[in-house]
Structure 1
Amino acid sequence: MVNEFPQVLTIAGSDSDGSAGMQADLHTFFVHNTYGASVITACVAGNSFGIHDSVAMPISFINQEFKDLADDFKIRAAKTGMLGDSALIHAVAQNYQNYEWGPLVVDPVIVTKHGAMLLEQEAFDALKTELIPLATVLTPNFYEAEKLAEMKINSDDDVKTAAKKLQKLGAKNIIIKGKHIAGETEKVRDYILLESGKDFWIDGPFYSTTHKNGTGDSLSAAITAELGKGASVEDAIRTADDYVDKAIKNEIAVGHKFGPINHWAR
C-alpha cells in the first residue's frame, strides 16, 4: 500500500558538516526505522571548528516544499529546528496548520547551552505566540526554559514551575533538558511534564566530551520518529533520552574539534 511505511519530517537548516540540523535529524530518523523527509529553511557552511556562512531559503521556496510533500507523502509526525526570523516562523506555523501531519515536536532553538541568545526579539515573540501553541512536545534546554517562562531556575521546584508556564503557552508536553556544565555536573536531569499532569525526571551521567554537536536536534528527532510510529509521548521521550545518552557515551571519531554524537550507537 502506498505510504504505509512511517514517514516523518524535519523543518530545519542544512548543516554542511552533518553534525546538527537537518542532517542530524535524518540520521536519527534512519536509525529509528522511519523515512525522513525535509523542509530546508537555510543552508549553513561550517565544520567542527565553527560556522562560517549561512544562506536563508526564500519563503516562496519553503512554501513549495510544504506543498510538494503534502501532494505525495503521508507525514505522520514532524519537528522544527533553528528558524531564523519571524517571517520564517510565521510561514512554518501557517503551513503546518494547512496539512494533517500529526504531532509536532518543537525544538525552540533560541538560546545556546551556554546562555547566548540566537534569535532577535521579533522572531522570539513569533516563536512563542505562533509556533509553540502548535507543539505536541516542546524540548527547551535549561536557558531556553528560563527565557520562555520569564523566570530564573534555581531549584527542582523552579523547573516544575517553568514547565507549567510553558504549558500555558499552548505546548501540550514539556521536556526541560538539564544543564550540562563540564567540571560541575556529574549527572544530567531532564524534567518531563505530560499533558495529563503526570511528571517525572530522567537522570543520566554527564559525559565530558567535545563530541556533542546535534544533541538537542537528535533528541527531538528521536521523539518525532517514535511518535510517527505510534508510540505514546511518554514512551517516545524515554526512548529518545536513552538513545541520545548512548550516542554521547559511545563517542565517534569525526571532526577535529567539536564533533557529532554517534547516531549509530545502540
Structure 2
Amino acid sequence: VWNLRETPYTNLATLHGHEEGVLSLTIKEQTVFSGSVDKSIFVWNLNDYKRTKSFVAHTDPVCSLTQYDNYLYSSSNKCLKVWDIETLELINEIQTDSRNGWLRILMPKDKCIYAGCRRVIKVFDARTHQISFEFELPTNDSIYSLAHSDTLLFAGALSGTIYIWDIRANRCLETTCQHDATVHGLCMLSADNFNKSNLISASSDQTIRVWSMDTFDQVQYDDRHEAEVTALHANARHIMSGAADAKIKVWDCISSHDHFE
C-alpha cells in the first residue's frame, strides 16, 4: 500500500495470501477482489487491508476480474464466469470459441463487457451475455489488458505496445505508447480539475507508466515493484498494482494529482 502524497512514496501496507502470482484486480467501493495463478479469488477490505474471503474460482489461473451492476466477472482459459458480487454465488458460466485462445482481460463499458483474447476484443451484452461486436488488432500481437475513455479503446499487448482505437469509427490509431515487455494492466485516472485524464499502464518490465491523453507522451515512470507487474486497477482513491511475487501494492491517490502532471 503506497501513499502518493509524500515523495518519495511511502509504503502503507502489502497484502499477502495468494500462493502464486496475482494476475487481476478489481474494486467495488471498499472491497478489493484479486485473482491469481493459484486459481483462487481473494476478497479484501480496504479499510483495514484484511482478507474477508477466498475461494477456488476456476480450474486454471484467474486471468481477469471486473465488476458491473452487482456482478463480479472472472475469466480463465476460454471460460467466463458471472458471480453475485455480494454472496459470490455462481450465476452463469460461458464457454467461448476455442480458436480465439484464452480470455485474458475483461472490462465493463456502456452495459457491455469487453473481453480480450489473442488479437480480438469481444463485446458481450451484460444483460444477455451474447456477443454484439468485435474489435481486431491490425497485427498478430496478443491482447493482455484493456481500458477506455468516452471515445477511445486501449489495448495493452504482448509486444509492449498499447493500441488505441477510435470506438465510434472502429479505427485503430497510430501510437507511441510502448513498454519493454507485455502490458498486463491499463486504467484511466483523472489528472487535474479540468476534466483531463491520464492512462496508467503496468508491465512485465516491472514498471508502471503514466501517459498523457492529450499527446500520448509518457509523463511518469515508476519501478518500485521487484517483479513483473501483472495486474492494475484504480478507483477514486486507490491505485492497486499486483506483481508476480504475489504482492499487491495500494497507492493512495486522493491528493496525488501533482505526481501525475
Same fold flag (TM > 0.5): no
| TM-score, normalising length: structure 1 | 0.34
| TM-score, normalising length: structure 2 | 0.34
More strand by share: 2
Q: Bigger relative contact order, structure 1 or 2, given CA contacts below 8 A and separation 6+? A: 1
